[in-house]
Amino acid sequence: FFEGRAKFPRFKSKHHKQSIQYPQSVTVVNQNLKVPKIGEIPAIFHREITGTIKTVTISKTPTNKYFASILCEVEATELKELGDKIIGIDLGLKNFAIVHDGESVTKYANPKHLKRHQKNLARKQKKLSRKTQGSKSRAESKKNVAKVHERIANSRQDFLHKLSRKLVNESQVIVVENLNVKGMVKNRKLSKAISDVGWGMFVNFVNYKLQQRSGKLIEIGRFFPSSKTCSCCGYLVDELPLDIREWHCPNCHTHHDRDENAALNIRNEGIRILTEGGGNPVFADGGCVSPPACKSKGHRSVNSEAYTDPIRAV
């Protein structure tokens, strides 16, 4: 901090996740984890331990479960090659992800993890509120509430891991928007749904999985008008409220689905960023990445940072 390399420390509550790390001298003996000053601890190993154990982090969850995360050093293995696609992803609430690869669109529904457990969670929270402070029954009720939250978190992580793995296996480059989630949750009507969906966690999963395979993640600016720009001619409309899910371009009269159009524009903007400074690049089929922008009376045209591909209309 005093060297100027770090920011101010964040507050860390004692009620947050509890963990301790052992950097050395941890071994596996007869399906037990041998920890310094504690001894052998019975454990369930989810996979065979290979390589050299470097560190072990033991953590406790709110449901009083203990987990040991074992970091091992192993020899590098050959990984499967990634797909050759460049995809653009528009993240949303009705559909979690709208994926465009330049030719086709795939929509992945939002599982709504919290909504599926909402009644069960409310019932257990109501029971907890009626318990006496400091009683054993209150501690038990608190644990039951934590179990529901744990189930929701596990469900969310499982969905995000599986989807991110599928997309990474199929693609060489993935383009997403850099969303201002902190500002978006200020909308009281959508804050719960936005907090539950896990956009940030999904992007983190995609990023580290792409890095493992030498892929590339591109995050475009949050002010890029992906929804308001026509992916066919590059025309930019002045206003497009959230309740309008489909619209017609007044310049080329193309009919657009809002989310599909946004996903295609995100993809095209990612390609432009990749090829910036290299003249006027083209696709294999001859489609230009950076067509000239439309100009029309009464409407402002798209600027040089929002050029899109006219060949790839939905």
Residue 306: per-residue pLDDT: 36
Domain identity same for 91 and 68: no
Boundary of a domain, candidates 219, 236, 259? 219
Residue 110: per-residue pLDDT: 94
Alpha-carbon 84 to chain mean position: 21
Containing structural domain, residue 211: 85-219
| Residue 192 forms part of a structural domain | yes
Q: CB atoms < 10 A from the CB of 196, how many?
A: 17
Domain total in the chain: 2
pTM check: above 0.85: no
Query: How far apart (Å, rounded) are the C-alpha atoms in residues 226 and 269?
Result: 9
Q: Which of 101, 177, 269, 309 is catalytic?
A: 177
Residue 117: per-residue pLDDT: 95
Phi, psi angle pair for 252, to nearest 5°: -110, 0
pLDDT along the chain (314 residues), means of 10: 86 81 87 90 89 91 91 82 85 93 92 94 96 94 95 96 94 91 88 92 94 89 89 87 86 89 92 67 36 40 36 35
| Residue 180 forms part of a structural domain | yes
Domain identity same for 198 and 133: yes
Boundary of a domain, candidates 152, 186, 219? 219
> 90 an active-site residue?
yes
| Residue 171 forms part of a structural domain | yes
Domain identity same for 89 and 54: no
Boundary of a domain, candidates 188, 219, 250? 219
Q: Are 251 and 301 in contact (CB under 8 A)?
A: no
The CA angle 194-199-204, to the nearest 5 degrees, is 155
Residue 301: per-residue pLDDT: 38
| Residue 67 forms part of a structural domain | yes
Q: Which of 101, 259, 269, 309 is catalytic?
A: 259
Alpha-carbon 296 to chain mean position: 38
Q: Hey, what are 276's tokens?
A: 């910036």
Residue 15: per-residue pLDDT: 73
Domain identity same for 156 and 202: yes
| Residue 294 forms part of a structural domain | no
| Residue 210 forms part of a structural domain | yes
| Residue 6 forms part of a structural domain | no
Half-sphere exposure of 261 (CA within 13 A, CB side): 24
Domain identity same for 132 and 210: yes
Domain identity same for 179 and 108: yes
Query: How far apart (Å, rounded) are the C-alpha atoms in residues 269 and 275?
Result: 10
Q: Which of 75, 78, 81, 90 is catalytic?
A: 90
| Residue 297 forms part of a structural domain | no
